[in-house]
Amino acid sequence: MGNNRSLTEEEITLQAYRLEGQSASDVLKWATDQFGLDIVLASSFGAEDVVLIDMLHKVAPATPIFYLDTNKHFEETYQTRDRLAERYGVDFIQVLPVLTLEEQAQQHGDELWKADPNLCCNIRKVEPLTRVLGQFQAWITGIRRDQAPTRANSKKIEWDSKFNLVKFNPLADWTSEDVWKYIRENDVPYNPLHDNHYPSIGCNVCTRQVMPGEDPRAGRWAGFQKTECGLHK
């Protein structure tokens, strides 16, 4: 496996136009047929990701799935991982940061997520993601266009210039209601924190409940001018 670009820019543009009218499941089927085991799903075990795990199980169950283990996830997130692994027979790939929490504290001070959340995300998420994506030609994400202004122009297939590979966003045109309808109809295991005002779940030190009327991502990095961890441009 490696980053040999297997689709030209023109081919990606053409497929983006064609796949726009396709269902999420059809996008996944085309993507996995195209890339085989050279495509990987990135999962944080949030609502969108559990939908994709269920869909992949039906169309291409051998597709590798990884998660970035920051060592700061909620216990409910790890429990959701275990329930999904049991339900679908998946051996999720654990991707860890180079630095342990103790080493990070020694080098950058205690509770770096409070002093410099961008640096903390770089150490615990962006660098590990860069490392794992270097082993693949394409990746699949749970991005939806209505999640944030930074995601509004996401296509169902696009070239990811940040990580130098093809990126698939099968749920780009879904709404939150679409996600939860799928979860209910297919009885997909999901993180119970979603039932307690946590629409977007990250590390337990940087995620709070979202109150009625707030933006769904208001609970991420509250108090900072930050809405993304740096995984998506």
Active-site residues, by number, are 229
Cα–Cα distance for residue pair 51/180, rounded to 1 Å: 9
Paired sense of beta strands 165-168 and 157-160, if any: antiparallel
Helices 176-186 and 47-59, axial angle in degrees (round to 10):
50
- For 25, the token pair is 């499941």
Q: Which amino acid is at 13?
A: T
Cα–Cα distance for residue pair 175/79, rounded to 1 Å: 26
Cα–Cα distance for residue pair 208/225, rounded to 1 Å: 15
Using the structure block, give the residue that is written with the tokens 């209505």. 146
SS3 content of the chain, % helix, strand, coil (to 5): 45, 10, 45
What's the DSSP call for residue 197?
A: T
Cα–Cα distance for residue pair 25/39, rounded to 1 Å: 15
Residues whose CB falls within 8 Å of the CB of residue 129, separated by 6 or more in sequence, listed in order: 42, 68, 95, 163, 231
